[in-house]
Amino acid sequence: MSETERHRALLDERSAALAARGLVDRQVGACRDFLVCLVGAEQYGFPLSATAAVMPERGCTKVPGAPAALRGIVAHAGSILSVIDLAEALGFRRDDANAGQGHFLRLRADDPPVAFAVDRVLGLASVELDAIEAPPLADDRDGLGAEPLSGYAPAGSDRGGTVSGGFTILDLPRLLRPFLP
């Protein structure tokens, strides 16, 4: 085989591989990315597009008369953030055994600047929109019910394979509603 023929065969092989990769991409549905966090024994997904930063948990300044879920305020990157304890906001009791070992998850929205306190950030998950299941119907008899939930990503739905198990997807506007004026 001449050098020109070998070169053309190599280009044809690469073109076929690129074309086949395009076919695979078209077969995969649209995906949405989530930052998955642990709260107690449960996993929750924050839309990655709504997340600005992850920082180590630290002490907060208490706000007199604030709801139980508002842990306090903390300074970060020139802003004062309200820190909401995700466990308390969802109606769970916080496990103080892990106090100081968790993370604060700052949201992109700056009106008002908010961060959520979680036990641990597990990683990023990319989930096909078709794989997301609808949340259960809200049951107003027991606290929030499914109010702040927008869906569920079942185990094995993370295309990147970073997050094991399924996770509940949070609806941030509904979750923040009780804390906004």
pLDDT tens-digit map of 85-100: 999 999 887 666 556 6
Q: How far is CA 49 from its chain centroid?
A: 9
Percent of all residues in the chain with a pLDDT value above 70, rounded to a whole number: 80
What average pLDDT does this structure show over 39-57? 93
Antiparallel, parallel or unpaired: β 103-110 and 70-76: unpaired
167 closest CA partner among 32, 51, 31, 42: 42
Domains parsed from the chain with CATH numbers: 31-179 (2.40.50.180)
pLDDT tier for residue 143 given thresholds of 50, 70 and 90:
very low
Our CA angle for 40, 130, 47, nearest 5°, is 45
- 103, pLDDT greater than 60: yes
The answer to whether the CB of 88 falls within 8 A of the CB of 78 is: no
pLDDT at 110: 74
